[in-house]
Amino acid sequence: MKRLFAKFYLHLSTGVIVLGILAVSAHTLWSDRFDTWRQAEQSSQNLLTALARDLAGNLGLLDLTLQGVMQDLNDGRLHDLPPELHHHMLFDRASTVGYLGSLLILDEAGDVVADADGIVPRSANFSDRDYFLVHRQRQDVGLYVSHPFRSRLRHGELSIAISRRLSRPDGRFAGVVMGAVSLGKIHQLFQDLRLGWDGTINLFRDDGILLMRKPFDESQIGQDFGASPYVQKLLHGRSATFESVSPIDGIRRVISFGQLDGLPLVLTVALSVDEVFAAWTRKALIMSLMTGLLCLAVVGLTALFRSELNRRKKAETKLRRLARTDDLTGLPNRRAFREAFEREWRHAVRTRSSLALLYVDADFFKDFNDRYGHSQGDEVLRAIACTVDATIRRPRDMAARHGGEEFAVILPETDLAGARVIGENIRQAVETLGLVHANSPYRLVTVSIGVAAVRPLRGSPREALLEAADQALYGAKAAGRNSVRETHADTARSEGIALPYADAR
């Protein structure tokens, strides 16, 4: 009875200790996680405040400069001054404005009538710009921030315009005073900040138009994200911090945002949730291991479980490898090819890179088997497989046995011209083997190769690239074999492929 009681007491004590250790560890980790989250919020808010102050200060100063120009234009005494002094009085404030590209006065027709860059204004008309049209159509706009545009006066520099309306005494439209802001300088300001791998900074107009972003992608500049619930939350609040998934790249982040004082602009600073908790995750792992070591009653079971799990994992890995390898050639088999093709297709869509595919087929192989026997045929297939595999160089390039005497080669980030060069190298290498084939018109073992390449978009059909390579292979055979052919670009497009092919012929 005493022994049973002691065993029960020992088990009970061990259980209480283990539960106590687990409870303390869990509480500590939860507290640290909460503190980590608060620090991330504070960091993003502090950075947002500093950035907003810088942008609002410079853009606000530009607005004051525009208002000063408007006041000077209404001062009739300035028109009696010499041109040099008149120009200086109008634009003397412009030198203090950061990010300023051009400062112009446009008349009611959109022609430049005064230019901060010179006493004699540059000849240009901007009546087609949105900052001109909106002021001509409406009197109540006040300060207006334009869509991004390529500057006609500054060698195509990406810019936005801050503008105000000029009116005659009777209220009629008299023109526009505008200052062009270099988005390149704002981009440089954003790029100098370190936010981690997936941190972002976004500058929106108050209607959801994206003006600048880190990381920079020019294709996104000027896009309208106003319909996104994420952006709507930014536009309808003064400032806040929240967690959300970005509609631009789909990454979950902790986001701080705020409207720039006196400007129709919203600035966001966002940190990746995964990166925010990276250090905490490492700490949690270490504490978990320490807790496991202290829980002596669990260590033995954990070790046994881990040993069994590793054994099973190795066995499964071996079986998986065997299931994905062709027994004859040692190359990946058709199943492995499909998995790799799917993976590289998704990568090409994500990175907007080119993906090339080669189909390699042994010429007159049935005739070879009939004359020399299947044993010799197997040796030929092994030689071709070895040659194909040796010809491709990069780590992600992959050669696989596609079936029978046909092989497939996946070439990530390779255009049609590059793929054709590789295909020609394979054809020549096989021919150089010098394997005798008396039933072939070339008297040697040769291969025909079909080449296709694509830069896929999201939603593009994967089968289109496979079919294009297959058509190219048929073209090579129809051309007499022992050749490399690619599918014509127009044919590929009609099948749904989203990339204009480079014609290497």
Reduced to 3 states (helix: H, G, I; strand: E, B; else coil), residue 455 is coil
Please pick, among 344, 405, 406, 486, the residue that the annotation labels catalytic.
Answer: 405
For residues 367 and 443, give the distance between their C-alpha atoms in angstroms, rounded to a whole number.
12
What is the number of other CB atoms lying within 10 angstroms of the CB of residue 232? 13
What is the number of other CB atoms lying within 10 angstroms of the CB of residue 306? 10
Residues 361, 448 contacting (CB under 8 angstroms): yes
What is the number of other CB atoms lying within 10 angstroms of the CB of residue 436? 11
DSSP string, 78-100: GGGS-HHHHHHHHHGGGGG-TTE
Kindly give the residue spans of alpha helices, DSSP state H, lying in 126-218. 130-137, 183-191
Q: From the DSSP assignment, how many helices (H) and strands (E) are in the chain? A: 14, 16
For residues 381 and 322, give the distance between their C-alpha atoms in angstroms, rounded to a whole number.
19
Strands 355-362 and 239-245: unpaired
User: Catalytic site residue 405?
Assistant: yes
What is the number of other CB atoms lying within 10 angstroms of the CB of residue 454? 27
For residues 214 and 268, give the distance between their C-alpha atoms in angstroms, rounded to a whole number.
10
What is the number of other CB atoms lying within 10 angstroms of the CB of residue 96? 12
Q: Could you tell me the two tokens for 458?
A: 């999201």
Residues 414, 452 contacting (CB under 8 angstroms): no
Q: Residue 367 gets which letter from DSSP?
A: H
Q: Which residues are catalytic?
A: 405
